[in-house]
Amino acid sequence: MSPEFDDLIGADVDPDERERLRRAHDALLVAGPPPELPQGLARPRANRQYARPALLAAAAVAVVAAFLGGWLVGGAGGEEPDFTLGMEGTTAAVAAHADLDVYPIDDAGNWPMKMHVSGLADGRYELVLTRNGKPIASCGFFLVHGSTLAWLNAPYKLRAYDGWAVTRPGSTRILLRTDQI
Amino acid sequence: MEMELAIPAPGAAARLGSPAMKRDPDGELVVRIARGDRAAFEALYRRYVRSVYALALRRLGDPQSAEDAAQEAFAAVWRSARTYRPERGAAAPWLYSIARNAAVDRLRARMPLATVPESPDEGPGPENRAEHEWLRWRVHRALEELPVTEREVLALAYWGERSQSEIASELGIPLGTVKTRTRSGLARLAGLLEQEEEVR
């Protein structure tokens, strides 16, 4: 269902400006939403030796290994994160990006996390674990003001989930997500 | 959905007679890339990666192939930035042609030679398709330039199928703010699309 131009704009716009806005409105309808960016395109390659598919596959294996390694070495403690995942904005937040550092699990079963997020509108958000790409379990709320660093926690068995996402509290619309793992 | 567009297709500005060339920030980045400036490359990448990927995805229909084509397109930008001539036109159409060629090359590589369609294509003609593809490219590119607050409201209204009241409720902002952001977002988008025409 396309939004009605007159409902969006209202009546109190002069004819020339109305025509300009109408063109932008029509352009948006024709263009449709931009696609979600795959993780492989989140960052430019560091040099002109662009990765071949085999290298991309190797990188994916490395991410999975790092993720699984979190359980194997969990509880070892230390200052360094067990693994770090990139999060990219969906079509609802195309400029958003986050890096999620997941630290070793503690004795009680908590996975402390540090998330550096940028490109989201100022406001309140929630980090959730996903299953089949759907938000399932909350890892806490955080406020964004510009580029923000937030500490969060996942008191869960991560094996039961396939990734993380950011939503608005009370909404299931995903704004940022990791690749499914 | 097909609709009449008031926005010229590639080449139309040249046919109509462009105004004097204006500043082209994308072109300045390409010139810097030609000198090996990595920061300029990253800036151009962030501005265009979603548009390049979207174009490749529409052409190829497969996310993995589209991702590979996007990688190839940016590798080509890095390699061939020295061939870009600002006096011949803005960087956006130059990038568009590189992205389109990367997608077409990948499409050709997986198509058998000399395939002939069994029935004539009854869809829009090549010129219309090219015009729409160019418009999508420019709109997605321009969206990247909007403030987050305006882009968020437009995305919910146009692609999230939310009413303005629902948007206000979901974002926790007054209805009047939603209306203001919608209007200012559309105005900014119109300005960006017009501005891009002027530098071509």
Which residues of chain A are within 8 Å of residue B156 when distances are taken between CB atoms?
Answer: 92
- Say what the pLDDT of residue A34 is: 86
What are the pLDDT digits (tens) for B59-116? 898 899 999 999 999 999 998 999 998 888 889 889 999 999 999 888 887 765 555 4
Q: Tell if the CB–CB gap between A92 and B41 is shorter than 8 Å.
A: no
Query: Predicted ipTM?
Result: 0.73
Count CB-CB contacts under 10 A for residue B66.
25
* Mean pLDDT in residue range A77-95: 79
- Model's pTM, two decimal places? 0.60
The Cα of A43 is separated from the nearest Cα of chain B by a number of Å equal to 8
Taking the CA of residue B170 and the nearest CA in chain A, the distance in Å comes to 7
The number of C-beta contacts closer than 8 angstroms across A and B is: 145
Region B7-29 average pLDDT: 54
Contacts of A178 (CB under 8 A, 6+ apart): A39, A85, A86, A87, A100, A163, A164, A165
The two beta strands, A174-177 and A163-167, are antiparallel
Residue A181's pLDDT is 60
Task: Looking at the complex, report in whole angstroms how far the Cα of residue A17 sits from the nearest Cα belonging to chain B.
Answer: 8
Instruction: Indicate the pLDDT class of residue A92, thresholds 50, 70 and 90.
Output: confident
- Structure tokens of B175? 């209805």
For the cut 80, the answer to whether the pLDDT of residue B183 exceeds it is yes
Task: Tell which wins on pLDDT, B200 or B139.
Answer: B139
Q: What is the mean pLDDT of chain B?
A: 81
What's the pLDDT at A160?
86
Which of A6, A41, A49, A97 has the highest number of chain B CBs within 10 A, making it the mutation to test binding with B? A41
Question: What pLDDT is recorded for position A79?
Answer: 64
What pLDDT score was predicted for residue A53?
A: 42
Structure tokens belonging to residue A156: 């869960």
CB-CB contact of B10 with B126 (8 Å): no
Q: Stretch A70-84: mean pLDDT, rounded?
A: 58
Choose among A30, A35, A121: nearest Cβ to B5: A30
Per-residue pLDDT, averaged over A157-177, amounts to: 89
3-state secondary structure chain A: CCCCHHHHHCCCCCHHHHHHHHHHHHHHHHHCCCCCCCHHHCCCCCCCCCCCHHHHHHHHHHHHHHHHHHHHCCCCCCCCCCEEEEEEECHHHCCCEEEEEECCCCCCCCEEEEEEEECCCCEEEEEEEEECCEEEEEEEEEEECCCEEEEEEECCCHHHCCEEEEECCCCCCEEEECCCC
Please name which of A176, A33, A50, A52 lies closest in space to residue A118, comparing C-alpha atoms. Answer: A176
Instruction: Check residue A1 and give its pLDDT.
Output: 62
Distance (Å, whole) CA A96 – CA A116: 11
Whether residue A171 and residue B143 make contact (CB cut-off 8 A), yes or no, is no
Query: What local confidence, expressed as pLDDT, does residue A111 receive?
Result: 92
CA distance A61 to A78: 24
Cα B170 from Cα A169, distance rounded (Å): 9
Span B145-163, pLDDT tens digits: 899 899 989 999 998 888 9
Contact yes or no for B54 and A27 at CB 8 A = no
Residues of B in contact with A122 (CB under 8 A): 149
What pLDDT, on the 0 to 100 scale, is given for residue B2? 40
Note the pLDDT of residue A58: 43
